[in-house]
Amino acid sequence: MRYLLILIAFSIVMIKPNVTFGQKGDVFDELQDSFDYGKKATEYADSTLDYIKKCYQQTALGDIQYYARKAKNEIDYSKSQSGYAESDASDAEDEADDIGCDGAENESDDAEGNFYTAKSRFDDAYTYLRRVENADDRDDAEYNLRKAKRYVEEGLTYLNYAMADLNDAVKELNGC
Quick one: average pLDDT of 57-70?
96
pLDDT tens by residue, 117-145: 999 999 999 999 999 999 999 999 999 99
Mean pLDDT, residues 17-41 taken together: 82
| Predicted confidence (pLDDT) per residue in 87-106, tens digit | 999 999 999 999 999 999 99
Q: In b/e form, how buried is each residue of 30-60, taking b as 16+ CB within 10 angstroms?
A: bbebbbebbebbbebbebbbebbebbeebee
Rg of the Cα trace of the chain?
Answer: 23
Q: Which CATH class is domain 24-174?
A: mainly alpha
DSSP 136: S
pLDDT of residue 35: 96
State what percent of residues in the chain have pLDDT above 90: 86
